[in-house]
């Protein structure tokens, strides 16, 4: 395939893809899809959140999971970065800490696909020192 | 942080929190002038005067969840390590400009790294913001605008992985063309080519 170097090339490539079967129709209502939020503050970025975000963006799509992956700011769990909040449709969000690629894979395969919890969950009653004051 | 692109990703989060709808990242590199300049500007709410005075102090932040803000401090540190510095201009209600000047040839000047990946994350997860990326080298310059790209392609958002990968290829090819230094283009091309 020729290189994509301009918007015109990009558009041409899009049109080629449209004529094939590659473009999927995404679910639009975020309430009915899995929502993944990756904490992307200094603490998260320094701990590798970018690679985790790229992993979720790519792998959820590859594994045919209807999901919206977004970034969020610091959730206050700096000690446990990278942290990822996952909300399954109709359920309360769960925050996973110390997420590396292996744990990210487990989150998709176990929690997202089957609802089985995996290690690294940050308790919902966790509070930062600041909030206790 | 081991790459300047991660610093950029971090500083841009400040602009996102400042409710900017247009964020511009500019890189100007010149081996001849021994200059590597990063300018991040936004049209957000700006920084109040009292905070602006101490904004690179790691213990100054507007956050309430924690009492530290390390993003600007780290970029300042990386700039000063090369003999450069960091300047911040901000006006409440108008926006903020962060200008980091580094020595291009200094051994401690970090590589730019995966700037393409950083841009893709930003444009994919902040659909209401127009991200403008401008990179100038002695070989030429390249400009990318997420809003113009959306308009040209007739799409509302970048939620398609294939489209994102193609955009990544386009930006990467153009940065290679102008010989941007310290790029990490990873395996990006192999995915779709």
Q: What is the ipTM of this complex?
A: 0.84
Q: What confidence tens digit (pLDDT) does each residue in B47-97 have?
A: 888 888 877 777 767 665 555 568 888 999 999 999 999 999 999 999 999
Domain A27-132: give its CATH superfamily.
Glutaredoxin (3.40.30.10)
CATH code at position B184 = 3.30.565
Q: How far is CA A19 from CA A9, A22, B97, B153, B166, in A?
A: 16, 8, 44, 15, 16
For residue B83, what are the domain limits?
A: 4-192
To the nearest 10 degrees (0 to 180), the angle between helices B115-125 and B161-177 is: 140
Q: Does B65 sit within 8 Å of A75, measured CB to CB?
A: yes
| Domains in chain A: boundaries | 27-132
Residues of A in contact with B13 (CB under 8 A): 40-42, 71, 73
Residues of A in contact with B112 (CB under 8 A): none
The contacts of residue A122 (CB under 8 Å, 6+ apart) are: A77, A80, A83, A95, A96, A97
B113 touches chain A (CB under 8 A): no
Contact B120, B47 (CB under 8 A): no
User: What does the mean pLDDT of chain B come to?
Assistant: 89
Question: Encoding tokens for residue A1?
Answer: 């395939």
pTM (2 d.p.): 0.88
In chain A, positions 65-84, which contact chain B (CB-CB < 8 Å)? 68-71, 73-76, 78
Report how far residue A87's alpha carbon sits from residue A93's, in angstroms, rounded to the nearest whole number.
4
pLDDT band at A73 (very low <50, low <70, confident <90, very high): confident
Rounded average pLDDT over B90-109? 94
Q: What's residue A131's pLDDT?
A: 46
Q: How far is CA A125 from CA A131, B25, B86, B161, in A?
A: 11, 39, 39, 36
Q: Å from A55 to nearest chain B CA?
A: 11
Q: How many domains does chain B have?
A: 1
The count of other CB atoms within 10 Å of the CB of residue B157 is 15
pLDDT band at B4 (very low <50, low <70, confident <90, very high): very high
């Amino acid at each position: 395939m020729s290189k994509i170097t301009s918007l015109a090339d990009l558009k041409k490539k899009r049109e080629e893809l449209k004529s094939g079967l590659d473009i999927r129709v995404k679910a639009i209502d975020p309430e009915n899809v899995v929502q993944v939020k990756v904490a992307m503050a200094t603490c998260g970025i320094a701990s590798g959140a970018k690679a985790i975000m790229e992993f979720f963006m790519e792998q959820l799509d590859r594994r045919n999971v209807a999901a919206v992956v977004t970034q969020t700011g610091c959730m206050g769990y700096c000690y446990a970065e990278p942290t990822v909040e996952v909300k399954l449709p109709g359920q309360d969000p769960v925050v996973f800490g110390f997420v590396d690629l292996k744990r990210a894979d487990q989150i998709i395969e176990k929690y997202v696909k089957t609802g089985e919890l995996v290690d690294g969950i940050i308790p919902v009653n966790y509070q930062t020192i600041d909030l206790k004051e | 942080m081991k790459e300047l692109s991660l610093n950029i990703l971090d500083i841009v989060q400040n602009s996102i929190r400042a409710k900017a709808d247009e964020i511009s990242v500019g890189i100007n590199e010149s081996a001849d002038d021994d200059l590597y300049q990063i300018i991040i500007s936004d049209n957000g709410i700006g920084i109040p005067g009292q905070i602006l005075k101490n904004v690179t102090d790691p213990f100054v932040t507007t956050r309430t969840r924690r009492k530290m803000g390390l993003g600007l401090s780290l970029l300042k540190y990386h700039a000063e390590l090369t003999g450069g510095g960091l300047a911040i201009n901000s006006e409440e209600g108008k926006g903020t400009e962060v200008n980091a000047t580094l020595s291009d040839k200094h051994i401690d000047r970090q590589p730019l790294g995966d700037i393409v990946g950083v841009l893709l994350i930003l444009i994919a997860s902040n659909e209401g913001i127009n991200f403008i990326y401008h990179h100038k080298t002695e070989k030429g310059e390249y400009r990318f605008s997420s809003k113009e790209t959306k308009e040209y392609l007739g799409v509302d958002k970048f939620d398609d992985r294939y489209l994102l990968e193609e955009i990544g290829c386009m930006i990467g090819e153009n940065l290679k063309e102008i010989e941007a230094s310290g790029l990490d283009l990873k395996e990006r091309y192999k995915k779709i080519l």
